[in-house]
Amino acid sequence: MPTPPTSADAPSGTSRRLAMGITLVLLMALGAATAAMLRGEDEPPAPPRRTVSERARDADPGGCGMPDPDNPADITIELDGGVLDFGDVEQGARETREVTFRSSGRGPLCIHDVRSGCGCFLAALDPPDKLRFEPGETGRVTITMNSDHREGDTHKNVTLYTNRLRGGPVLVRCRANVVKGLILVESAARFRPVARGAPSEAPLTLYTPKEEGPFEITGIQGTRPGPDGKTVPYTFTTEVIDDPNLFKLRLVIMHPGLAEVGGSQDAIRIKTSHPGRGEITINSYLQVVERIKPSVRSVSLGLVGPGRDGKPVRVWFRPGVADLSFRLVAAYLEPMPARDEPADGLGFIATMGTDERGAYVDLRHDGRARRPGLHEAMLVVTTDDAQQRQIRIPVRAEER
């Protein structure tokens, strides 16, 4: 005998009413369609299929978005030899040329973007807000050659991104030969890294064509004040370099040095007697480093304790400046500043060593049990270098 449904299995009154309502709506729709067929009425005609071009115009009435394959855009640029040639120019000069293009397709040409491959050729539409060109219409791109910190033959591309379907972006090849006037070969004055308080030098080379005659360096001036509010008091030396075609000068700028470790930047003005270029501004960079550089600034041994000694952590010590020879004299541990040494000891052991790669100190836990928590100490390494007698590195471990 079947088991009667429980209250949990039986559908609720709300569910029954909802199902009956849906069924009634479907029956009414089916009846209406059957009646229309019996009366001979046809369904409303489907809208005609639109072409890709029509959909493109509807999606973007201005014609500068979706390309139109039925009325494609195209662009024509005419340059002698296919290159915009600025010819021989002076370093530090800025010269501007105009490039004319024509919308040569059946549809409107749209310029989405103009980009240059470097800061030496700067390009822009003229006027900048004119982006759409009807078939047959012409436009202009202005290209400015910036020859700062450039030397010799320079080739770069200016790229026009358009809505044409074939051919991809349009390249305008640009060329300039920076050989006239006073030329500075280097793009920046890079002082060699030195220790704190030590002077440093930055060599530079300048030249002119022989027919322009000799020139002199008349002064060197820093422009950015330091922490004391004063600019760097640079000094310099010069030396003439023999060359059959050029008057060439070697300039060495000397920085007096800095008291703190870190980087320093400046914009240096080089003053000359050249009639066409009496002043050159060049960026400079100086890095002040420790004479002896540890491989890390702090050491963490992680979780330690009995049975958790693990491998020692090795700290390497290498020269931070050129031509430096040194030796580690001692390595020991002391309490952190303003702290007393715990009664059960600091908990770390330091061992010095050397191999073919240089000098090092190995740090490890002493393996003794201590109260849980963070334990810290200071590794002190002494050297035979007169200018950096001591190196201090914090050490920490977690006792569990």
Q: Which secondary structure element, helix H or strand E, spans residue 36, and what is its range?
A: helix 13-39
pLDDT, residue 138, reads 95
pLDDT, residue 342, reads 84
CATH architecture of 75-179: Sandwich (2.60)
pLDDT, residue 1, reads 46
- Say how many C-beta atoms besides its own lie within 10 A of residue 219's C-beta: 11
One fold for 75-179 and 183-289? yes
pLDDT, residue 12, reads 52
CATH number among 1.20.140.10, 2.60.40.790, 2.60.40.10, 3.50.50.60, domain 183-289: 2.60.40.10
pLDDT, residue 396, reads 93
pLDDT, residue 30, reads 62
Domain ranges of the chain: 75-179, 183-289, 292-399
Nearest to 261 by CA among 211, 196, 315: 196
What do you get for the CA distance between the two ends of the chain, in Å? 69
For the chain, which ranges sit under pLDDT 70? 1-65, 307-310
Cβ within 8 Å of residue 1, ≥6 positions away: none
Which pair of structure tokens corresponds to residue 120?
Answer: 């030496």
pLDDT, residue 148, reads 86
292-399 classified as CATH 2.60.40.10: no
pLDDT, residue 27, reads 62
Amino acid letter at 264? S
Distances 225 to 231, 264, 267, 285, 290 between C-alpha atoms, Å = 4, 11, 10, 14, 24
Angstrom distance (rounded) from CA 120 to CA 176: 10
Strands (E), 78-151: 83-90, 94-103, 109-116, 121-126, 132-133, 138-146
Nearest to 107 by CA among 64, 43, 141, 60: 64
pLDDT, residue 370, reads 84
